[in-house]
């Protein structure tokens, strides 16, 4: 067991890395070194001769994580990693389909459409078949299709219990037909088509089962139903599946993630000879003890979990600080004040994060930061490959690779404008539909006459000319040529704010060259663009792809689904808790801890919805390394209305001794009982001759006459104390506590 690879591993990490050949579930808590365990496990298998790179398949959830894994492995092992399959589910399925396109019944040069292009295609289907887009919103069909595919269902397999669903199934079938005709696949189709390939082609399935003796999966808690089924098909009876995940950090149910996959793993991947091994990584290397104790106390309230308890050798550290503000403006002012003091103490701004449950919360925070001249960045803005000018350039490139791509054709046939109006495009589409051809074929055949027909012919000639001109160019040179020859550069030069768009087009050239370098391809090799008849070079440029252009277009489509980190100078980080997953910061503010906001009101009506919200809160807490602030506001302007808030249940689930409450407010001479401070908002006591109950702003109450309501204000003390209550049916009332006979709701 003596090896430099095993140095500095704790006992649980060591056990995971050196496991014998059997499937294992590694329950890896936040900050427990799961990436290190995963990569060291692969290096250990290679170093000990238990595996070679060709027998390993490693699945990550982002392209960035895949690149990081390969970089770490290259530093850990001298083995040649070129033959190893490492990538996202979508990336690996793309690779598989490229290699078996005939068996999968897809064109050799199939194009991947991202979510925006998919929506545009759905809208085209609606226009072609006169579908009412108000009754059947295109985005709703997009979600319907994704959900069906993630469950492994084709249109004829979806059960329709009502007329609306039956129509959605019909629209799904129309969409499928267009995709098949044009040779395009969406993200969900990549996985479904790959799953169907493995399920129907025994020889191909058995070939992969013999090859991949070791399958390693990162972020296993985020797998959906179809991804889990794909893994089960791919893993033969002798394969060792090494699944690393944390059920307490499963927060993507809205994307289809199924946390139950972790609970099913031990049953589904065990054999009579080899039961699944469960190892818990509970030692945390990120946060101080008080932060971890807060996270542990919160998450233990969830019923549906495998169970673990984070701990650290770093000591307790500072207490977790909590603050209740009278309003969201006061909450923002408090945060600005603390951030300024932290900055004076030497904490870098980009090491501080402001987390919120809803994007709508950011406006007040941004306004306060702007007024205080504190630089900030809202994490998760428009991604590079989703920017309009970049998508225009990619559409031209897609036409060079596969001219029958109607989506790409429609995007740029009149952009930059060249005199082809909507009516002319309708005529072209009618002709293509009537003759069973693509728009490109219709355009080549002179389907429409007049000036518009001449303009379409000129566009076809432009694409053919670019294809000829770029055939001998490198990929980067080809992208640069397309930017110029298409007229995009000239078009944006005429725009007032076109400089930034031109810079993005120039950056696309760098992206193409960088892609080739990362793929270990010669950057000066000719692009080998397919001819108009689809002929390609005999030798593929990269395993699973036919030429550099097709590979780059697939890369661009897959990258558009990845979250990109904020870039540039040091600035405060603002983001939703979902966006913060996988990140860590010196100081974290979790804001808006109010019932209906966090946990979100939608979760109250969903099965296990509050448990997912609690996992989301757990993720928020465990982003902090040294300081954690929990804040909420008694009133908040949200969605155009003032909300009177009850403190989040998550605050009351944290033991009082772990929290240090900061500067509780004194409003209108309110008698504040600090002994109650730590459970909720400002507390007002009725100090009559008999000790009365304690009341707090934001508390739900009931009255014999007025019914249910929420305390929104209070004043006075003793026998003169009174509260203002917003009743659900009776409106706002002031009530004297001595006579009102209020009861907690």
CA distances from 237 to 194, 210, 212, 268 (A): 20, 10, 11, 11
**Annotated catalytic residue within 117, 150, 186, 218:** 218
**Annotated catalytic residue within 186, 219, 328, 594:** 219
Catalytic, 218? Answer: yes
Q: How far apart are CA 549 and CA 393, in angstroms?
A: 13
Q: Are 618 and 630 in contact (CB under 8 A)?
A: no
Catalytic, 391? Answer: no
411, two tokens: 């995007």
Q: How far apart are CA 392 and CA 57, in angstroms?
A: 35
Catalytic, 249? Answer: yes
One-letter-per-residue 3-state SS of 670-732: CCECHHHCCCCCCEEECCCCCCCCEEECCCEEEECCCEEEEEEEEECCHHHCEEEEEECCCEE
**Annotated catalytic residue within 12, 13, 34, 36:** 34
Catalytic, 280? Answer: no
Tell me which DSSP letter residue 22 carries. S
State which H helix or E strand residue 57 sits in: strand 56-60
Q: How far apart are CA 155 and CA 172, in angstroms?
A: 6
**Torsion region of 123: left, alpha or beta (phi above 0 gives left; psi -120 to 50 gives alpha):** alpha
Position of tokens 């900030």?
376
Radius of gyration of the chain (CA): 29
Characterize the bridge pairing of strands 184-185 and 214-217: unpaired
Q: How far apart are CA 713 and CA 726, in angstroms?
A: 9
Which three-class secondary structure state does DSSP give residue 534?
Answer: coil
Sign of CA dihedral 196, 200, 203, 208: positive
Residue 69: alpha-carbon gap to chain centroid: 19
CA distances from 21 to 18, 51, 220, 744 (A): 9, 10, 19, 59
481, two tokens: 């040529």
Q: How far apart are CA 441 and CA 134, in angstroms?
A: 32
Question: Where do runs of H (alpha helix) occur along 406-531?
Answer: 406-412, 422-435, 439-444, 450-470, 475-485, 488-493, 498-518
Closest CA to 123 of 59, 75, 184, 178: 178
**Annotated catalytic residue within 377, 411, 614, 623:** 623
Q: Are 94 and 114 in contact (CB under 8 A)?
A: no
Catalytic, 98? Answer: no
Q: Which residues contact 39 (CB under 8 A, 6 or more apart)?
A: 69, 72, 73, 76
State which H helix or E strand residue 172 sits in: helix 163-182
Long-range contact pairs involving 515-524 (C-beta distance under 8 Å, separation at least 24): 515/475, 515/551, 515/552, 515/555, 516/475, 516/476, 516/548, 516/552, 518/67, 519/551, 520/82, 521/548, 523/474, 523/475, 523/476, 524/474
Q: How far apart are CA 109 and CA 245, in angstroms?
A: 35
Q: Are 541 and 525 in contact (CB under 8 A)?
A: yes
State which H helix or E strand residue 650 sits in: helix 649-652
Characterize the bridge pairing of strands 694-696 and 683-685: antiparallel
**Annotated catalytic residue within 18, 35, 108, 180:** 35
Position of tokens 């090799």?
525
What's the residue count for the chain?
745
Closest CA to 611 of 300, 214, 194: 300
Active site residues: 34-35, 218-219, 249, 623
């Amino acid at each position: 067991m003596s090896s430099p690879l095993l140095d500095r591993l704790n006992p649980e990490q060591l056990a995971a890395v050196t496991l014998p050949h059997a499937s294992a579930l590694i329950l890896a808590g936040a900050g427990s070194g799961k990436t290190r365990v995963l990569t060291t496990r692969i290096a250990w298998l290679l170093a000990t001769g238990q595996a070679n790179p060709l027998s390993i398949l490693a699945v990550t959830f982002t392209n960035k994580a895949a690149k990081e894994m390969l970089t770490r492995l290259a530093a850990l092992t001298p083995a040649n990693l070129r033959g190893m399959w490492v990538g996202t589910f979508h990336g690996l399925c793309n690779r598989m389909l490229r290699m078996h396109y005939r068996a999968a019944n897809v064109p050799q040069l199939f194009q991947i459409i991202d979510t925006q292009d998919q929506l545009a295609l759905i809208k085209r289907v609606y226009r072609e078949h006169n579908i009412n887009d108000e009754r059947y919103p295109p985005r709703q069909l997009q979600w319907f299709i994704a959900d069906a595919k993630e469950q492994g269902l084709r249109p004829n397999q979806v059960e329709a219990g009502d007329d609306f669903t039956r129509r959605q199934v019909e629209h799904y079938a129309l969409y499928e037909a267009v995709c098949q005709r044009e040779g395009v696949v969406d993200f969900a189709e990549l996985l479904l088509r790959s799953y169907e390939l493995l399920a129907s082609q025994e020889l191909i399935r058995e070939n992969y089962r013999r090859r991949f003796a070791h399958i390693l999966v990162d972020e296993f808690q985020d797998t959906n139903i179809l991804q889990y089924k794909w893994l089960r098909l791919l893993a033969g009876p002798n394969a060792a599946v090494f699944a690393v995940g944390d059920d307490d950090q499963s927060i993507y149910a809205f994307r289809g993630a199924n946390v139950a996959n972790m609970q099913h793993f031990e049953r589904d991947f065990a054999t009579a000879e080899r039961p699944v091994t469960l190892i818990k990584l509970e030692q945390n290397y990120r946060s101080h003890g008080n932060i971890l104790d807060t996270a542990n106390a919160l998450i233990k309230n969830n019923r549906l979990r495998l169970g673990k308890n984070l701990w650290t050798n770093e000591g307790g550290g500072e207490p977790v600080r909590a603050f209740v503000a009278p309003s969201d403006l006061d909450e923002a002012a408090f945060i600005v004040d603390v951030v300024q003091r932290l900055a004076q103490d030497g904490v870098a701004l980009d090491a501080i994060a402001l987390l919120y449950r809803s994007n709508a919360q950011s406006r007040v925070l941004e306004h306060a930061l702007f007024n205080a001249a504190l630089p900030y960045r809202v994490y998760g803005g428009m991604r590079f490959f989703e920017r309009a000018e970049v998508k225009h350039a990619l559409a031209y490139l897609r036409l060079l690779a596969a001219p029958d791509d109607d989506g790409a054709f429609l995007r740029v046939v009149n952009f930059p404008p060249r005199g082809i109006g909507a009516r002319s495009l309708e005529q072209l589409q009618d002709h293509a539909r009537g003759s069973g051809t693509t728009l490109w074929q219709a355009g080549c055949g002179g389907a429409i006459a007049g000036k518009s027909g001449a303009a379409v012919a000129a566009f076809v000639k432009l694409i053919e000319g670019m294809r000829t001109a770029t055939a001998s160019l490198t990929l980067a040179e080809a992208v640069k040529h397309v930017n110029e020859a298409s007229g995009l550069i000239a078009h944006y030069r005429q725009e007032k704010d076109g400089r930034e768009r031109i810079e993005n087009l120039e950056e696309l050239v760098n992206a193409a060259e960088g892609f080739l370098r990362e793929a270990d391809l010669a950057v000066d090799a000719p692009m080998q663009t397919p001819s108009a008849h689809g002929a390609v070079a005999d030798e593929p440029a990269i395993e699973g792809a036919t030429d550099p252009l097709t590979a780059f277009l697939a890369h661009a489509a897959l990258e558009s689904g990845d979250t990109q980190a904020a870039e540039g100078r040091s600035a405060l980080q603002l983001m939703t808790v979902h966006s913060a997953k996988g990140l860590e910061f010196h100081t974290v503010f979790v804001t808006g801890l109010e019932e209906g906001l966090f946990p979100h009101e939608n979760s109250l009506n969903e099965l296990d919805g509050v448990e997912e919200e609690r996992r989301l809160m757990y993720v928020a807490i465990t982003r902090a390394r040294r300081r954690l602030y929990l804040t909420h506001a008694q009133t908040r302007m949200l969605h155009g209305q003032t909300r009177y808030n009850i403190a989040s249940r998550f605050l009351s689930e944290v033991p009082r001794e772990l929290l240090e409450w900061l500067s509780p407010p004194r409003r209108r001479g309110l008698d504040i009982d600090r002994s109650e401070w730590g459970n909720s908002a400002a507390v007002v006591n009725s100090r009559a001759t008999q000790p009365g109950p304690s009341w707090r702003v934001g508390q739900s109450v009931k009255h014999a006459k007025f019914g249910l309501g929420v305390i929104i204000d209070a004043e006075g003390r003793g026998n003169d104390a009174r509260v203002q209550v917003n009743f659900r049916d009776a409106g706002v009332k002031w009530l004297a506590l001595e006579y009102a006979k209020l009861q907690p709701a």
